[in-house]
Amino acid sequence: MLNIVLFGPPGAGKGTQANFLKSTFNLVHISTGDVFRKNIKNQTPLGILAQSYIDRGALVPDQVTIDMLSDEVSKNTTGKGFIFDGFPRNIVQADALDFVLSKHSAQVDAMIALEVEDEILVKRLLKRGETSGRSDDSSEEIVRNRIKIYYSETAILKSYYEAKGRYHGVDGVGEIEAITERLNAVVNTL
């Protein structure tokens, strides 16, 4: 199995690039956002709880996120591997992901981070908010708070994966195709 954590701040392009990686390398894409939206749409208890945090621009608590993602991994163990998009977001979640994958004799092979400047992120998210209907992309204040939370709580995972020799940074600015080529080059070295 090839298991990749696709990493970066909100608006870095993780979802877009994950779709290309999924097709190219025949991996299962597990997007935290998609899993949240599915649970929210189906009004599951975890979905209702997650929505209350998302509406405020806050991160969903670890255990809620871990429970949702663990279930998705268990449903998709016959593939060639996974792309985790938006998970893990902190050391607790990274350790939980290691545990979940170890039950399937697997591990995280690489964290690939899309690196994008903050002002570009804000513009991308507000533009997406104009058409997506997503409440967390509708206000500059909420968007900036999400980016701030990313740096204060999530960016520490860079050190976590660097210590394991599994961190790879990729420039996330430019034409989509060029970014895809940079990502593919990294994956081909794994």
**pLDDT tens digits along 107-162:** 999 999 999 999 999 999 988 888 887 877 888 898 898 899 888 878 889 999 99
Determine the pLDDT at residue 188: 95
pLDDT for position 71: 84
Which is catalytic among the residues 14, 22, 38, 56? 14
Query: Which is nearest to 186 in space by CA: 109, 106, 120, 117?
Result: 109
- Is there a catalytic annotation at residue 89? yes
> Looking at residue 76, what is its pLDDT?
85
| 182 is an active site residue | no
Full-model pTM: 0.82
Q: For 2-181, CATH number?
A: 3.40.50.300
**3-state DSSP call for residue 31?**
strand
| pLDDT of amino acid 144 | 92
Highest mean pLDDT: which range of 20-34, 59-73, 139-153, 166-180 = 166-180
Domains of the chain, residue spans: 2-181
**What's the CA dihedral at 124, 125, 131, 137 to 10 degrees?**
-170
Nearest-angstrom CA–CA distance, 111 and 121: 20
Degrees, nearest 5: CA angle 147-15-145: 15
pLDDT (0 to 100) of residue 139: 84
Which entry of 22, 37, 123, 134 is annotated as an active-site residue? 134
Residue 59, pLDDT > 80, answer no
What's the number of CA atoms in the CB half-sphere (13 Å) around residue 97? 28
Q: Which of 22, 75, 127, 128 is catalytic?
A: 128
